[in-house]
Chains A and B, each alone.
Chain A
């Protein structure tokens, strides 16, 4: 009988522990619990300024803003939110830092289960996908004629649209380009083929001579990474520029065009010669790590965030990167670019949607926030935010090389899967024409789905 008592006591103890853990675990949630008691069909106040009731917003922020010194991720965002909350009574924003690698899984699950945040910072690729699937609020009313005129770049505006509706409010944009390791290129003599003047445009022939010298000097070439889709815009831009092909024509995917096949064949040839690295094992991130560690001589997936995030690593490994556009046959490279921006999830609450728009407009109109993204303003009226910065001035030259934006085309996600699979097979020695045709066919078939 005593045993029963003992067991009961244990059972109760268990209850207590659980209950206590409930207190511990829930206190933060409790204080921040989203105010959902409002009826979902609350009518919005007439003008978008300040809704009558208290609105609580949730902002999902991947680490995009550059933090001060050694501040942990989210510090600057928290500061922004506090500033906004203080200046906008009636709206309370809560920020949650999310990480890049797992963000998409989390967002997908949240969307499907109706627990998505209100405001999300991301790139167009995914945002427009959510928009086309009817999960976002249309931001058409934020794209006034005045705003469009200030942007003054139709490609950039298109990148914010899906099926003719604006879903992303842009804050900044920056080009994707490549980088070379200064020391390795100088030592091997490859640097003499590089154009370091003006916009640094160079040709495929120059590139070929350079990588031959690098290989002769025993340096590891950069890798044609293709283990997954991370950073794959780099390999697409590299291959496309080699013989001035294009990945898509706005309607369909066209990377089986003659120029693209010529580029892919050349890449395969270089890999076989050892002038270009086998990158089946790496994605963009892995490839960047190799470059930043001083293992490989050049890198196709480079940009302001890659350069910024790896600055310390490169310094301690004695790597000095030189930014270059991709080599092209005619010396007129076409670059891909990243547009940063915000979207608003459709959580069935018009008041929240209005408040969210107020919030993102407030964020994007601030020049400090633009520089915190390390990129260039989309609004021409903001002018040059980086006076006296030689590297940034070079990148401004690169921004003039922007090509048509195809990341918002239908079936983009499916195409990326086809692309890296094709590169793996080409690296493995497969027939280029056959593989490119098959991949394009599958990509175009995926547009319908």
Chain B
């Protein structure tokens, strides 16, 4: 504030900045309000109705919070929530740590090598989930899958394993595939962020005799914190919303062990036509994600150095 021209007090400045800021945000906010907020409000509102294909939203079908009450007595939903939480708890740290490790391993390599690895890890993302999943599905196939073929050729198994049909393995297969399709973006971001780390600070520390590990934690880690925050939040949201993998691979089975909230929401809306109920699931999911994101923000913002 010391450099603020004297004629502007801080309120006037903020008012001025408010006008400027909203002008800057106008285009984005326009699209946001029109194509996200508006439909979203409609989604939240319809979750209060017994809205199905048969019953449109009207005064008669208003049921207040009944959808939400039913939701928490629905065993399938609770199981799906548990599965989703397992996915998040395993995938988010795995993706974040692995991508950080890969990026710090490759970002100082020669340009060609770095490009190569960055591309490799980004390949599953650009190839498209549907195509990649078809290949994975074949690899995990119980009869003609390559995984069983290789394992039995090596003599590690004597009987074919139904990877995606076995309650013990199915969710881990999902996690593995999810992992390969999720780490691409974080690696690209981390490489960019690590490249932006102030090199003079690193060199100064090295002159002072700091080890690589110390340099990493004391200098690089705080500087890539905004990126980490972004990656953690995005991966959490993506994992919560994991849907196409489940649909293409297991349809929630075996015995509901890979059913996620998103997939359950989808089946309710698109095969049972219970739109209101499905929307209430979406709202609950959104609230949980929002709370988690807020916590992640609070915890990690402490470490962010601007």
Footprint of A on B, CB under 8 Å? 52-54, 140-144, 162-167, 250-251, 253-256, 267, 269-275
Contact = CB atoms under 8 A, between A and B. Distances in A.
A422 to B, nearest CB: 10
B255 A421 contact: yes
B165 A135 contact: no
Interface string A123-154: 00000011011110000000000000000000
Nearest to B251: A228
Nearest to A414: B272
Given A290-B143, A417-B272, A449-B52, 20 more contacts: A105-B270, A108-B53, A108-B269, A108-B273, A133-B53, A133-B273, A135-B53, A226-B253, A227-B165, A228-B251, A278-B162, A280-B164, A280-B254, A281-B164, A413-B273, A414-B272, A417-B271, A424-B255, A425-B255, A428-B254
A428 B271 contact: no
A133 B54 contact: yes
A228 B253 contact: yes
Contact of B267 (A135, A290, A417): A417
Closest 3 CB pairs of A and B: A280-B165, A281-B165, A228-B251
B92 to A, nearest CB: 27
A413 B53 contact: no
A343 B162 CA distance: 41
A227 B162 contact: no
A280 B272 CA distance: 22
A279 B267 contact: no
A428 B256 CA distance: 12
Contacts of A296: 143
9 contacts: A227-B254, A229-B271, A278-B165, A281-B164, A413-B273, A417-B267, A420-B253, A428-B254, A449-B274
B270 A421 contact: no
Interface string A395-430: 000000000000000000110010011001101100
Contacts of B167: 428
A315 to B, nearest CB: 18
B270 A104 contact: yes
A280 B162 contact: yes
Interface in A106-130: 108, 111-112, 129-130
A311 interface: no
Given A133-B273, A280-B162, A290-B143, A428 B255 contact: yes
Contacts of B256: 421
Contacts of B165: 227, 278-282, 427
Nearest to A106: B270
A279 B142 CA distance: 9
Contact of A281 (B54, B162, B270, B272): B162
A293 interface: yes
Nearest to A105: B270
A293 B267 contact: no
B270 A108 contact: yes
A295 B143 contact: yes
A293 B145 CA distance: 13
Given A133-B53, A228-B251, A424-B253, A293 B144 contact: yes
A293 B251 CA distance: 23
A220 interface: yes
A100 B269 CA distance: 18
A111 B52 CA distance: 12
Nearest to B275: A112
B276 to A, nearest CB: 12
A318 to B, nearest CB: 15
Nearest to A111: B53
B274 to A, nearest CB: 7
B30 to A, nearest CB: 15
A430 to B, nearest CB: 8
A227 B143 contact: no
Nearest to B142: A281
A283 interface: yes
A282 B165 CA distance: 8
Contacts of A281: 140-142, 162-165, 250, 254
B52 A133 contact: yes
Interface centre among B142, B164, B253, B274 (most CB of A within 10 A): B253
A130 B253 CA distance: 27
